[in-house]
Structure 1
Amino acid sequence: MSSFYSWALNNLKVDRRLILTYCTVYFAWGMLMNWFGNEMEIARFTYWWQVISCYILYMVPISLLLRKLPFHMQYAYGLIAMGLLEFGGYFFKTSYAFPDNMLDQIVGIRNFTLGMALFFAFYFPLGNWAVGKTYELIFKEKE
């Protein structure tokens, strides 16, 4: 267990500017997705501030831990993380799925949460890529 602990600490020790970049990108992404899910009547958070708890407090640390792994591993570990998050959100009713939404119509009501987890697991590899490019663009050292 101590090797995992030291690995995790090493991956979480990053430049504060990188953390700020993650928080900014993920917050904007979360607000946009919550708006889109609400507008398209697919799903939404019960409260807007859940974007902070889910996207920043949950997804940013996971993204930091996964950022150095290959795309397929980030997706696989992200699938576990998002499966737990999606299940918890609907179980505790902190997320709301609109009745008979477009995903229900495509994949069926029993597969809705699985479909959401499969989709949102892409956030980790795509988010790490987007944050890396944004960070490099903004904070690249002048030579």
Structure 2
Amino acid sequence: MQEIIEKLKQTPSTLYLTYVLIYIPWGFAMDAFGTWAEIAKFNHWWQVLTCYGLYMIPISILLRGRPIFEQYAYGLVAMGLLEFGGYYFETSYAYPNNIIENTFGSRNFALGMALFFAVYFPLGNWVVNKMYTRFFSK
């Protein structure tokens, strides 16, 4: 556990800033798309900040530099817990008869969401790395 905390502490503030500038707008855009397409949405706007900022950014930093499939696998566990919790505690709303339920069945909705959102970790780390090296590389 100490190793995890140290890695997060040693991460440069400019890297955190890069994650925030990419993940937070990305989160609001995905929430807006999910609402527009009537797939799913957060019940409160601030959940974007907690989920994308306080949950996904630290996990992304911890997964940074690992192979893509490893990032995806760990991301799948992380997103599975997040999706399960969101629907269990009813802080997220899944629209009835949404495209995922209609395609894969209602029992597979949270799994489908977790499988999709786990891609955020390798993809997000790739995007952040490109932006970070472009603007903050020495």
Equivalent residue pairs, number: 137
Equivalent-residue separation in structure 1 for 2:7 and 2:39 (angstroms): 35
Equivalent residue number for residue 9 of structure 1: 5
Equivalent-residue separation in structure 1 for 2:6 and 2:22 (angstroms): 22
Equivalent-residue separation in structure 1 for 2:79 and 2:127 (angstroms): 19
Of the three residues 56, 60, 63, the one matched with 2:53 is 56
Equivalent-residue separation in structure 1 for 2:5 and 2:98 (angstroms): 41
Runs of 4+ in 1 over 4 A off after TM superposition: none
- Whichever residue aligns with residue 27 of structure 2, its letter is G
Matched, 1:28 2:25: yes
Equivalent-residue separation in structure 2 for 1:123 and 1:95 (angstroms): 18
Matched, 1:72 2:69: yes
Equivalent-residue separation in structure 1 for 2:7 and 2:67 (angstroms): 15
- Per the normalisation by structure 1, the TM-score is 0.93
Equivalent residue number for residue 15 of structure 2: 18
Of the three residues 83, 95, 110, the one matched with 2:92 is 95
Instruction: Give the superposition deviation at 1:137.
Output: 1.4
Equivalent-residue separation in structure 1 for 2:37 and 2:128 (angstroms): 26
Equivalent residue number for residue 80 of structure 2: 83
- Whichever residue aligns with residue 39 of structure 1, its letter is W
Equivalent-residue separation in structure 2 for 1:69 and 1:139 (angstroms): 21
- Whichever residue aligns with residue 5 of structure 2, its letter is L
- Identity in percent: 56
Deviations 1:79-134 (A, max 9, x none): 00000000000000000000000111111110000000000001001100000101
Equivalent-residue separation in structure 2 for 1:137 and 1:53 (angstroms): 27
Equivalent-residue separation in structure 2 for 1:72 and 1:10 (angstroms): 24
> What is the SS of the residue equivalent to 2:116?
helix
Instruction: Give the superposition deviation at 1:56.
Output: 0.3
User: Structure 2 stretches of 5 or more lacking a match?
Assistant: none
- Whichever residue aligns with residue 83 of structure 1, its letter is G
- Per the normalisation by structure 2, the TM-score is 0.96
Equivalent-residue separation in structure 1 for 2:49 and 2:19 (angstroms): 12
